[in-house]
Amino acid sequence: MSRARRLISLPSLALAAVATLAAGGASAQTTGSDGLSEMEKARAALPPDAAKVLFGEKAAPAPLEARSIGSYARGCLAGATALPVDGSAWQVMRLSRNRNWGHPALIAFLEHFAARGRAIGWPGLLVGDMSQPRGGPMLTGHASHQIGLDADIWFSPMPDRTLSADERETISAVSMVDMGRRELDRTKWTETRAKLVREAARDPAVARIFVNPPIKKALCDWAGSDRAWLAKVRPWYGHNYHFHVRIACPAGDASCADQDPPPSGDGCGADLAWWLGPEPWKPSEPEKPRPPMMLADLPEACRQVLLAK
Ligand SMILES: [Zn+2]
C-alpha cells in the first residue's frame, strides 16, 4: 500500500478504537457514570438493524458447514468453533465478551501455536478477542475479526494456574511500548516475546501479524540473517499490549476473500521509518461519521448465517 493511499484509508475510527484494541478490548462489564456498559452505549447509538447490532446479539454459532464468508473487515462466519477457555497451553481472557469463536482452521492454528510457544520457552498464551459466534462487525473495538481468522494474543504470559472468570475480566495486559516516546519499553520486552512472534510468522497458515511500530523495529534489529518471516509482521496502531495474528483463508473456502500478500522484503526500511516518525500520529481532520454497516453491505450469504437456527 502506498503511503498516500494508506493515509487516506486510515480509518478515523482506528484512532478512537486504539484504546479499546490496545488491551485486546476493554471489559464488556465496563460501566460509565450513567450505568450503561460500553456495549450498551454503542448499541443505543445505532439503528436496530445495523449489522453490528444483529451479529452482536447472536450468542451461538450458525449450525452450518464452517465457512469464512467475505473479507476480514466485511464478512461473517458460518459453523464457528469455540476455542476452549482453558487449553493445554492457553487461557481465554474477557469471557463475558463471547469472542473466542473462530473458523476451525484458526482453532487448529492456536492449539498448535500454543504448543510451539511452550517449546520455545513461553509458558502459555493469553488469548484476547477472536470473533463473535457468527463473526460479523462488533459493537466495540476492531474493524476486522469478522470472519473467524483473526486472534489477539497478549504479550503477557499465561500464569501457572487457572485464572478465575473474574480475573480474566479485570487483569490488565502490559504495554511493551512507551507510547509517549513511541519507543520499546526495554524493561518489559524480552527475547522470548520476539521468538514467539517469529514462531507465529513462520507458520505457513499465517498471513499477517500486527504489532505497534517500535515492536516491529525491535524485531528488525533482532532478526539477524533469517528475515523472510519479517514480511508478515506489519506495523499498525495499538497492538502494544497484544499482537494480532491473521491466518489466510482456509484452502478450498471459495467464499473467503484473502488480502493481497504483504509487500515483499522485511519491511524494516522506509515503511517502518514512516511509522516511527510523527506523521501517522498527527491528529486527523474529524471526518463525518460514516453510516453504520448494514446487513445488505455484507456478502449475501451472511443473511443465512444470521438466520440459521
Ligand atoms: Zn486484533
Question: Could you give the CA distance from residue 109 to residue 130 in angstroms, rounded to a whole number?
Answer: 13
| Centroid of ligand 1 to alpha carbon of 151 (angstroms) | 6
CB 272 within 8 A of CB 220: yes
| Centroid of ligand 1 to alpha carbon of 240 (angstroms) | 11
Domain assignment present for 301: yes
| Centroid of ligand 1 to alpha carbon of 25 (angstroms) | 9
Question: Could you give the CA distance from residue 64 to residue 77 in angstroms, rounded to a whole number?
Answer: 10
| Centroid of ligand 1 to alpha carbon of 215 (angstroms) | 16
Question: The domain that contains 131 carries what CATH number?
Answer: 3.30.1380.10
Domain assignment present for 1: no
Q: Would you write out the chain's pLDDT as a tens digit for each of its 309 residues? A: 334 334 333 333 333 333 334 334 444 455 666 667 788 888 888 888 899 999 999 999 999 999 999 999 999 999 999 999 999 999 999 999 999 999 999 999 999 999 999 999 999 999 999 999 999 999 888 889 999 999 999 999 999 999 999 999 999 999 999 999 999 999 999 999 999 999 999 999 999 999 999 999 999 999 999 999 999 999 999 999 999 999 999 999 999 999 999 999 999 999 999 999 999 998 888 878 888 899 999 999 999 999 999
Counted domains in the chain: 1
**Quick one: how far is CA 266 from the chain centroid?**
21
Question: Could you give the CA distance from residue 57 to residue 179 in angstroms, rounded to a whole number?
Answer: 35
pLDDT attached to residue 16: 34
Q: Any idea how long the chain is?
A: 309
Range of the domain at 283: 12-307
Domain assignment present for 128: yes
Question: Could you give the CA distance from residue 55 to residue 132 in angstroms, rounded to a whole number?
Answer: 8
| Centroid of ligand 1 to alpha carbon of 277 (angstroms) | 23
Domain assignment present for 3: no
| Centroid of ligand 1 to alpha carbon of 145 (angstroms) | 7
pTM above 0.85, yes or no: yes
Domain assignment present for 6: no
Domain assignment present for 32: yes
| Centroid of ligand 1 to alpha carbon of 42 (angstroms) | 19
| Centroid of ligand 1 to alpha carbon of 190 (angstroms) | 21
| Centroid of ligand 1 to alpha carbon of 62 (angstroms) | 22
Domain assignment present for 227: yes
pLDDT attached to residue 18: 38
| Centroid of ligand 1 to alpha carbon of 14 (angstroms) | 11
Q: Exposed (0-12), middle (13-18) or buried (19+): which is 158, by Cβ within 10 Å? A: buried
Grid cell of 7 as nine digits: 493515509
The DSSP secondary-structure symbol of 48 reads: T
| Centroid of ligand 1 to alpha carbon of 238 (angstroms) | 9
Report which of 232, 253, 259, 222 is spatially closest to residue 9, judged by C-alpha positions.
259
| Centroid of ligand 1 to alpha carbon of 298 (angstroms) | 20
pLDDT attached to residue 27: 43
| Centroid of ligand 1 to alpha carbon of 114 (angstroms) | 17
Question: Could you give the CA distance from residue 297 to residue 244 in angstroms, rounded to a whole number?
Answer: 25
**Quick one: how far is CA 230 from the chain centroid?**
18
Surrounding ion ligand 1 within 5 Å at CB are 152, 244
Grid cell of 238 as nine digits: 495499538
| Centroid of ligand 1 to alpha carbon of 246 (angstroms) | 8
| Centroid of ligand 1 to alpha carbon of 33 (angstroms) | 28
| Centroid of ligand 1 to alpha carbon of 307 (angstroms) | 26
The DSSP secondary-structure symbol of 160 reads: S
Report which of 260, 208, 258, 264 is spatially closest to residue 236, judged by C-alpha positions.
208
pLDDT attached to residue 106: 98
CB 74 within 8 A of CB 298: yes
| Centroid of ligand 1 to alpha carbon of 146 (angstroms) | 10
Domain assignment present for 215: yes
CA angle 49, 8, 20 (to 5 degrees): 55
Question: Could you give the CA distance from residue 69 to residue 194 in angstroms, rounded to a whole number?
Answer: 32
| Centroid of ligand 1 to alpha carbon of 141 (angstroms) | 9
Question: Could you give the CA distance from residue 164 to residue 37 in angstroms, rounded to a whole number?
Answer: 22
**Quick one: how far is CA 125 from the chain centroid?**
14
